[in-house]
Amino acid sequence: MRWKTKVTELLDCEYPIVQGALSRIGNWKFAAAVSNAGAHGCLTAAVSLTPDKLRDDIRRCRDATDKPFSVNITVGMCPDIDEMLEVCLAEDVEVIETAVFNADVIGKRVKDAGRKWVHKTATIKHALHAEQQGADALILVGLEGIGFKNAAQLPTMTTIAWATRQIKVPVIAAGGVGDARTFLGALGLGADGVMMGTAFMATQECPISERFKQRMVEADPDNPYLRNTVLAPPNPKDFEAVMQKRNEMPLERWLTALERVMLKHDDWMLAPEMWNEDYDRISSLMSFAVTYIDQIPTVKEFVDGIICGAQDILAGWEFLKK
Ligand SMILES: Cc1cc2nc3c(=O)[nH]c(=O)nc-3n(C[C@H](O)[C@H](O)[C@H](O)COP(=O)(O)O)c2cc1C
């Protein structure tokens, strides 16, 4: 079966599966492993720290895979953002992914350079805005996901079903996706592909500790700590206070303050120490995708498992054959 969708066409990959950007984790080796497995790998620019290192990392990624990959530029969090973008364009990176904040200026530069611009948002309002600005595809992250949260975020099912009724460009569903059933479910809701962050972290190639991965295997979505981080709305007073400070500090500092309020814990600030073997707690850097994590496969085994699993499910639906 060929999994040809608007996303595989746009990103030139075999399966409509995209790796989420992962701060302090998403390096070139990991991105290359994902692209080599037939999905679409993503190198997180902030992981490279400097534009020179990003140039080296893009070249290393190219040497490690002949498949396309994207570079994620997280607005307000990626250092030297203009220079990082320049490097991506000079190195002929085909797809630039932006996220977290308004990316109109970056998007325009990407489009003017003839490249593909994919933007990630947590709300349909922001997705529609990016579509108007010329984004080639939109990633919508629902409430079950992790990463940068938004106070107006809705559950993944509602977000995707609502988004695909309004957005014309390809939609990539994220937030709690992590197995064959959630993959098929997202496509059933009208998405053209899925993005996974948490689930890709539980693979052998992910550069975090085995202990952290084991914690992901053990974690259930009803774990009170996880439930509170992923699902609970921010404390209204803290939220109001941080929103009032929007123009009182540089964007980068404000986004960090906002993330603190949204995630309700500070433990995510412990990364990269959190990826060391001696860190042994459930962390706020995992989503409801832990529901499906019960082993630590290679990236290829993980991607193949989703695709074969989805094919088996479709083949087993007798009502489709009548
Ligand atoms: C540890 C971790 C770090 C992340 N860092 C970033 C980041 O730097 N930039 C970004 O755009 N998204 C980031 N994300 C969000 C993911 O790219 C993706 O949108 C999210 O993981 C999707 O939800 P899921 O975890 O349920 O799959 C991060 C997610 C995790 C789990």
- pLDDT tens column, 218-229: 999 999 989 999
Contacts of 52 (CB under 8 A, 6+ apart): none
In this prediction, residue 278 carries a pLDDT of: 75
Instruction: Please indicate whether residue 285, judged by its CB atom, sits closer than 6 Å to ligand 1.
Output: yes
Instruction: Please indicate whether residue 26, judged by its CB atom, sits closer than 6 Å to ligand 1.
Output: no
pTM of the model: 0.96
Nearest to 299 by CA among 48, 69, 60: 69
Instruction: Please indicate whether residue 196, judged by its CB atom, sits closer than 6 Å to ligand 1.
Output: yes
C-alpha of residue 295 to centroid of ligand 1, in Å: 20
CATH of the domain spanning 6-210+286-313? 3.20.20.70
C-alpha of residue 108 to centroid of ligand 1, in Å: 24
In this prediction, residue 195 carries a pLDDT of: 98
In this prediction, residue 270 carries a pLDDT of: 74
Backbone angles phi, psi at 240, to 5 degrees: -60, -40
C-alpha of residue 3 to centroid of ligand 1, in Å: 24
Which atom of ligand 1 has the smallest separation from the CA of 20? 17
Instruction: Please indicate whether residue 184, judged by its CB atom, sits closer than 6 Å to ligand 1.
Output: no
Tens digit of each residue's pLDDT (9 = 90 or more) over 9-55: 999 999 999 999 999 999 999 999 999 999 999 999 999 999 999 99
125 pLDDT band, cuts 50/70/90, is: very high
SS3 170: coil
Which atom of ligand 1 has the smallest separation from the CA of 44? 8
Positive or negative, the CA dihedral 293, 295, 300, 302 is negative
Taking 90 as the threshold, does the pLDDT of residue 155 lie above it? yes
Residue 294, amino acid: D
In this prediction, residue 321 carries a pLDDT of: 86
Here the tokens at position 243 are 């929103």
Rounded to the nearest angstrom, the gap between the alpha carbon of residue 32 and the centroid of all alpha carbons in its chain is 16
Q: How far is CA 147 from CA 74, 134, 307, 316, in A?
A: 11, 24, 25, 35
Pairwise CA distance, residues 125 & 183, whole Å = 24
| Residue minimizing CA distance to atom 19 of ligand 1 | 20
C-alpha of residue 320 to centroid of ligand 1, in Å: 35
Pairwise CA distance, residues 195 & 203, whole Å = 15
Question: What's the farthest any 2 CA atoms get from each other in the chain?
Answer: 63
Contacts of 301 (CB under 8 A, 6+ apart): none
Length of the chain, in residues? 322
C-alpha of residue 232 to centroid of ligand 1, in Å: 18
Tens digit of each residue's pLDDT (9 = 90 or more) over 44-98: 999 999 999 999 999 999 999 999 999 999 999 999 999 999 999 999 999 999 9
Q: How far is CA 101 from CA 16, 157, 243, 258, in A?
A: 25, 23, 14, 12
